[in-house]
Structure 1
């Protein structure tokens, strides 16, 4: 087994750290400055900035499992554009393709529950592009007769990216829009779901998200309680100063079910935000993933 990740960022590093098999994992980044961080996570780094290199093509030739974690842009899917031909004809060992997408493809469902059979009604341009990219990867998989797994992720959090960190650095806000909920997913559960699907070479569409869509202000308040600090005051959504992108997130309201990934045999480590925040706070991994004991030794 050899895994190749196009776009080995936050989720890709969590995936590699969960590599219990010791399988070779290679991953791309656009910056040489990120090479050390990838190596620390167990990833052999390669440069990719929209064009494949001989080094990348050589690695693809021996890759069994391909993970794509690069967002499409207005020109299309940059990985398909650059490496589509290599995937079709230059990967003789390939067994499985995984594409990391977003629950944003479902658009707005007025707070109703959606699963993988729900209609995709993307609102934002970025989600429209995601739907198109999903379809292109599924078509490619059919053409080369390899399983493709589409993992639709909700809001990603984990060490270094969570409400505890936001409270500490003063960026946490409690925006209140009545009836608004969001799903979330801990990066370790993205990793776990990926490994589960890889183990079975399982294709299909999977919502990789927690069990409990919740109002965002509740998450901040819960984190503040763990830290023993006062939560920031509530701010009405209508009066909040937000970037256009941030405001667009609040234009979509849905509760996302995760039945398919559970049916594939995956069990979540962090089924809701409370479990995750409690564990990260208790073991001290909420800042950067290093437990308190390790921090003291450094």
Structure 2
């Protein structure tokens, strides 16, 4: 794969929600794409070859062949206390590859501490110290370190909340799972899963160690998003509850404790990219169609 050229074969470690959309875009562009799941037999028939990847089990011959032929690898697997569990399983086979040119890792803007509504960009210090941030940063550095040792390009994508078809406020309202949690002054960005896929594919093949912060155009209060979805779908708004109310789970409270805006201009300029879904409004309107 020449510098700047698109890969011809890609391996997606973790065909979850984001991974499936990355694979779909690659296939639409004529790229041969395979991926890993825990249970290949239960997977959808979408043309993506699936390989089993499970902690404690050896990498089988079929997956080794997929690794051997992949010019680019993107990992979407969540980290654990020791970093990236997928990299631990495939690192040996990846090191033996003669065609690998690029690796990418999907991380999170959770690596940045609360900014009280202030802005972050690619130059901002990843200063969060909680367990979630520590795991993400460790996994990021493991992928960067692997790429440096291997002599290939790498990209880390620090992502805001991902939404899209089947995973959005409309679905939450329809299923009775939506929470109307209020924290005064809270805003955050989002990213449609199709825009995430476009960013990842645009980054593949770039001959560098890169950091990207893709995001939409409008950091918005979560209650505004919920209200727009409720009006769009004809749903009643759930009762409001304060973010620090005892009924709010600790995990959800941690989510609402971080208040920051993402400036993605550097990512847009580096990749020649802009979001197809500029705000949550366009994304939800597309979802309801």
TM-score, normalised by the number of residues in structure 1? 0.88
Counterpart residue number, 2:61: 54
- Per the TM alignment, residue 158 of structure 1 is displaced from its structure 2 partner at its CA by 0.7
Report the Cα distance in structure 2 between the residues aligned to 1:174 and 1:245, rounded to whole angstroms: 15
Cα RMSD (Å) of the superposition? 1.6
Report the Cα distance in structure 2 between the residues aligned to 1:21 and 1:82, rounded to whole angstroms: 29
Counterpart residue number, 1:272: 279
Report the Cα distance in structure 2 between the residues aligned to 1:249 and 1:16, rounded to whole angstroms: 28
Report the Cα distance in structure 2 between the residues aligned to 1:182 and 1:34, rounded to whole angstroms: 35
Please say which of residues 94-103 and 242-251 is displaced more in the overlay. 242-251
Counterpart residue number, 2:213: 207
Q: Secondary structure at the match of 2:64?
A: helix
Report the Cα distance in structure 1 between the residues aligned to 2:199 and 2:164, rounded to whole angstroms: 15
Q: Of residues 218, 229, 238 in structure 2, which corresponds to 1:232? A: 238
Q: Of residues 2, 7, 19 in structure 1, which corresponds to 2:9? A: 2
Please say which of residues 90-99 and 121-130 is displaced more in the overlay. 121-130
Preserved CA contact (<8 Å) 1:173 1:217: no
Counterpart residue number, 1:217: 223
Query: Structure 2 stretches of 5 or more lacking a match?
Result: 1-7
Task: Describe the superposition over 1:144-177 as per-residue Cα deviations: whole angstroms up to 9, x where unpaired.
Answer: 2211010111111111111111111111121110
Q: Secondary structure at the match of 1:93?
A: coil
| Structure 1 residues 262 and 201, CA gap change in structure 2 (3 angstroms) | same
Counterpart residue number, 1:30: 38
Q: Secondary structure at the match of 1:67?
A: strand
Q: Secondary structure at the match of 1:18?
A: helix
- Per the TM alignment, residue 92 of structure 1 is displaced from its structure 2 partner at its CA by 0.8
Is 1:68 paired with 2:69? no
TM-score, normalised by the number of residues in structure 2? 0.91
- Per the TM alignment, residue 56 of structure 1 is displaced from its structure 2 partner at its CA by 1.3
Preserved CA contact (<8 Å) 1:26 1:45: yes
- Per the TM alignment, residue 180 of structure 1 is displaced from its structure 2 partner at its CA by 1.2
| Structure 1 residues 272 and 32, CA gap change in structure 2 (3 angstroms) | same
Report the Cα distance in structure 2 between the residues aligned to 1:8 and 1:260, rounded to whole angstroms: 28
Q: Of residues 91, 98, 108 in structure 2, which corresponds to 1:84? A: 91
Query: Structure 1 stretches of 5 or more lacking a match?
Result: 284-298
Counterpart residue number, 1:192: 198
Report the Cα distance in structure 1 between the residues aligned to 2:252 and 2:244, rounded to whole angstroms: 13
Preserved CA contact (<8 Å) 1:6 1:67: yes
Is 1:43 paired with 2:48? yes
| Structure 1 residues 76 and 173, CA gap change in structure 2 (3 angstroms) | closer
Preserved CA contact (<8 Å) 1:175 1:240: no
| Structure 1 residues 123 and 179, CA gap change in structure 2 (3 angstroms) | farther
Report the Cα distance in structure 2 between the residues aligned to 1:80 and 1:159, rounded to whole angstroms: 29
Task: Describe the superposition over 1:76-104 as per-residue Cα deviations: whole angstroms up to 9, x where unpaired.
Answer: 3212222222222x211111111111111
How many pairs does the alignment contain? 278
